[in-house]
């Protein structure tokens, strides 16, 4: 079990994507290479929004990126820097109550456990 800092918790970063491939490619990189998130859940949605003074009705993919609070800003920067949209959505929501088992799982999948004493 990871000794959890009382200020440390989980966060969910929400973003949308125009296509599944770009979402999967970025997610794979964030989980496997960058190790800034432990899990990504996504689903197809319909969105209505204004862009360039025009109303758009589009199919998109809504993604929930799960990580620890100490990695939230790093994850946000990675998404903003590598997202296909000019103005990507990157909304961070703090998890108010996370089981210690789930937090441990997130932490172990985003941190180098050899650095933990």
| Within-domain flag for 4 | no
- How many domains does the chain divide into? 1
Sorted by sequence, the CB contacts under 8 Å of residue 108 that are 6+ apart come out as: 2
User: What pTM was computed for the model?
Assistant: 0.89
- Domain of 71 in residue numbering reads as 10-111
Question: Residue 41 — left, alpha, or beta (φ > 0 → left; ψ -120 to 50 → alpha)?
Answer: beta
Cα–Cα distance between 71 and 64 in angstroms, integer? 15
Tokens representing 79 are 């998404």
Q: Do 99 and 53 touch, CB atoms closer than 8 A?
A: no
Residue 3: inside a domain, yes or no? no
CATH assignment at residue 78: 3.30.70.120
pLDDT in tens, the chain (117 residues): 656 565 578 999 999 999 999 999 999 999 999 999 999 999 999 999 999 999 999 999 999 999 999 999 999 999 999 999 999 999 999 998 888 899 999 999 999 765 543
């Amino acid at each position: 079990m990871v000794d959890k800092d009382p200020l440390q918790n989980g966060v969910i970063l929400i973003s949308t994507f125009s296509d599944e491939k770009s979402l999967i490619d970025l997610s794979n990189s964030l989980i496997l290479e960058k190790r800034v998130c432990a899990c990504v859940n996504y689903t197809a949605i319909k969105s209505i929004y204004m862009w360039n003074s025009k109303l758009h009705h589009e199919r998109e993919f809504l993604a929930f990126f799960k990580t620890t609070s100490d990695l939230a800003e790093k994850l946000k920067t990675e998404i903003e820097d590598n997202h296909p949209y000019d103005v990507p959505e990157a909304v961070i929501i703090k998890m108010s109550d996370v089981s210690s088992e789930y937090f441990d799982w997130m932490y172990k999948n985003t941190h180098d456990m050899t650095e933990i004493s």
